[in-house]
Amino acid sequence: MSSQGRGRGRGRWRGRGRRTPQISPPAPPLGDVIVTIHHNEIETPANQDDTKSRITNSRYLTSYNWLGWEQRKITIPGEPPKWTPLSRSNPPKLPQDKGGYYRDRNSAQYPTYPLEPMVQAILTDKPEFPVTSVDIIACNNTMVNLLRFALGQDKPFRMLVEVLGNTVFFIRRENSPTEMIPDVRGYGHTFPEAYTTWGASVGGSESHQRVLEYEFAGMQCLVRFEADGFLPNLVPDTEEPKEDPICPKDDFDPEETLSSLEEVTIVCGPSTTAETASKQLEIAREGRRISQCAIFDLKTRSRNKRNLNTLEEELPRLWVSQTPNFILAHHMSGQFKDIQVQDVRDDVKRWEEAQQPALGKFASLLQIIVSLARSADNGKLEIEREEGEQVLNLRTPGGVVNGVLSSAVASKWDV
């Protein structure tokens, strides 16, 4: 099948990688505990500004696509796959997922410096952006794990923290950069391969990564997340927007797809503007900017679970990534006849209002971690949460730990 065809192809969905199964590697050793943060001891300051526990001034900053696993290549701004649904009256029966899927695509693609492609995309696409003045640079996984702790939800995790200048980086830490998800089941990969399509300018893409800028907890945050796709009827026109326009709600029509939408491509050779680029990372300008208002998150579930409130479970992630659209697809033995495409902006906003006490705790937690990291001798910490525990252990990093960025890129923060 051509890379411009309907299917997304092998290894082109969240966490997907080589099909050779791997035995789970051992966890890296733990360093000494420096500080323990108890969930019930985190308090929201009485005089805290009401806006500090809400996301404000959110905007899409830049984006990039990962290309083949061996190339170490990103294209900027790239483009997410387009929602191209199949017949609802007589949809095909899809095969179940099989093979190997990486836990952390970005680490698997670029294991030495997983956050560097995000920074390189900003330096290339927005060279005037004051990246060194940002308080937090993170991915949605690290932010959501800390948010779940503030919400009182039980999920173990580890992450590294490193300070460059005044910027605090949160780096996801799995047992290995190429750790696989065990016992993958269902249709979470084959469904999007069948129901979304990569544009002609980004054929061969493995994933689309986006960077959001917003304010939270009195700090400026840059958060990277992987977009599942975009709704073409919410793209204002075929011209690449200079900024991220707001899509009026009245224009939203979940059933409408514009199959005749023309692709606009911006192509040039590898970027020469980022002189600090890692030698291992190839950067090219291809694709087009797709407004955040058209982006969707996607989940598949068995028809037997259609009475469960899946959206409610996903709202914390949608809030962190400010994703406005949600597709929930129910199947019966791999046949998808029940597909809901929803504008969830009001749901996300209502969730934010209802969770103000917990979000105040989350804001305080981020402020505590940022303060401790900035005061650490070498600006490096590891955060670890054990399963079933309502405490965070802030430790010295255990095992072999690379710097968050290559020396050439990290030099941007030299003062």
pLDDT tens readout for residues 77-88: 999 999 999 988
Q: Strand locations in 32-89, DSSP E? A: 33-38, 56-66, 73-78, 82-83
> How far are the Cα atoms of 175, 358, 389, 391 from residue 153, in angstroms, in the given order?
22, 11, 10, 11
pLDDT above 80: residue 397: yes
DSSP 194: H
Please state, in angstroms and rounded to a whole number, the distance separating the CA atoms of residues 240 and 98: 37
Question: Which residues lie across from 393 on neighbouring strands?
Answer: 36, 384
Given this model, what pLDDT does residue 23 score?
A: 66
Whole-prediction pTM value?
0.86
pLDDT at residue 258 is higher than 50: no
The residues facing 221 across adjacent strands are: 136, 214
- In this prediction, residue 240 has a pLDDT band, given cuts at 50, 70 and 90, of low
Asked if residue 186 lies in contact with residue 195, where contact means CB atoms within 8 angstroms, the answer is no
Q: How many CB atoms are closer than 10 A to CB 28?
A: 18
| pLDDT band at residue 69 using 50, 70 and 90 as cut-offs | low
Q: How confident is the model at residue 134 (pLDDT cuts 50, 70, 90)?
A: very high
